Amino acid sequence: MTDLSNRVSCPALFLSAPSSGEGKTTITAALARYFKAQGKVVRVFKTGPDYLDPQILAQASGQDVEQLDLWMAGDTYCQQKLFEAAQSADLILVEGAMGMFDGDPSSADLAARFNIPIAIVMNVKGMAQTAAALAMGMANYRDDVQVAGLIANNCGTERHAELIRNALPENLPLLATLARDPDVALPERHLGLVQADEVRDELEHRFTLGAQWIKGPLEVPNAILELPKPVEFFSAEVEPVAPLLLGRRIAIAKDAAFSFIYDANVRLLQAMGAELAFFSPLNDQTLPEADALWLPGGYPELHAKRLSENDPIKTQIKAFHAQGKPILAECGGFLYCLDDLTDLDESTYPMCGVIAGHGAMRGKRGCQGMQTAILPEGAVQAHAHHRSRSHDTPAPIGYGKRQRHPAPGEAIYREKGLTASYLHLFFASNPNAIAAIFNGQSASQPL
């Protein structure tokens, strides 16, 4: 007798592109909202370490959005998350990152690993048959990748679409032609998309328009409106999480300045037994009673003046640190812990002064990439994405290890119970290390 309890089928589609900026997120959001409006349960995943796209896609789909990354989260984690989603979803959408074959592992690697067909999203403005040639090249670049067809974004006219359609082979159909529409495109800022909570009503309007936009011209309805073929997903052998944080209360900064928080990180802390208390460094005057503090990344530079003016919360965070209690400060949280921060207008504002040093925005110059945080408690998978610099800081206890480059990665600082770095940590990659940090079982010796 065949055991079917460890497998489930669900229609699934992976949206990838030749490069960034082709319209993947806008189209993924429009598809999610279209099928949601049809009464379907749509689960969306985002490839790679991304905070902003998942906020947008969660609002569009009405469901939580997970990050999937074979390097950061691991094969088993990705397999189990897809299996869990497929149990209740009518459709799974996965949005890729960068270009289809960029990175190691790439979007193509993720799609191939789980046998998810790919829809190539391409901005076809200024080309016709060449779009077909590029799509054919991508479709045939690797034998293990299934390409369902092409979505032609910014397609000018039906004649434009016809030229592309006629140039494609039968096994590579034109799934959709989408006219340029600035009212559907998603708003952006210097690190990517604007946070969903800041423009929720505007996004709702754009999603409504996007659900209409994705239908395409009335005379030639888009084939993308048909559910893709089912994909079989299998359960993974996942070890249960030990209650390593049972009885610990962790205060977490969360507001417009500090919002780069993986839902997976929050769920892991709860699974390990932690009680969580969210607070706003922008608005609250009192730090919650807590055993540990997490200051995640976000956009402190956009709110530096207000953060600087909230002296009560800054004073309490400094006192929390003076008591030797554990604090994890990531990227924007790290900047908040410094003596001061200079914003994009070159105005400087005092911050918490928990650790010596100064932070300053650098316009379009910055750092991004996957790194492993080498900590005394163990190695944790992480990534960096910032357009600021810090200087006059103490000597670090170590550095991140870049995924594919021998140069030292981001500096990691440890003072009393504070662990601070530009790195954003993915907690599930090493729960024991994360628990040790929040339990205050930290070491400060150089690595």
Instruction: Give catalytic residues, as residue numbers.
Output: 331
Report which DSSP code applies to 338: S
CB neighbour list of residue 372: distance below 8 Å, 6 or more residues apart: 379, 380, 381, 382, 400, 401, 403, 409
Helices (H), 115-169: 129-139, 158-167
* Element at 151 (helix H, strand E): strand 147-153
Sign for the pseudo-dihedral over CA of 243, 246, 248, 250 = positive
**Strands, DSSP E only, in 241-304?**
249-253, 258-260, 275-279, 292-295, 297-298
The beta-carbon contacts of 218-226 under 8 Å, at least 24 apart in sequence, are: 219/158, 220/158, 220/161, 220/177, 222/175, 222/176, 222/177, 222/178, 223/149, 223/173, 223/174, 223/175, 223/176, 224/31, 224/119, 224/151, 224/175, 224/176, 225/34
Asked, as a colleague might, if the bond just before 182 is cis with ω within 30 of 0, I would say no
Report DSSP letters for 51-115, one per residue. Answer: SHHHHHHHHHHTS--EEE-TTTT-HHHHHHHHHHHHTT-SEEEEE--SSTT-TTTTHHHHHHHTT
Measure CA 70 to chain center.
14
Neighbours of 133 (CB within 10 A): 12
* 384 closest CA partner among 363, 408, 406, 360: 408
Residues 314, 284: contact at Cβ < 8 Å? no
Residues 324, 318: contact at Cβ < 8 Å? no
Measure CA 69 to chain center.
10
* 205 closest CA partner among 408, 57, 60, 359: 60
Q: Residue 124 carries which side chain, given as an amino acid letter?
A: V
Measure CA 347 to chain center.
29
User: Residues of 159-187 as b/e, b for ≥16 C-beta within 10 angstroms?
Assistant: ebbebbbebbeeebebbbbbbeeeebebe
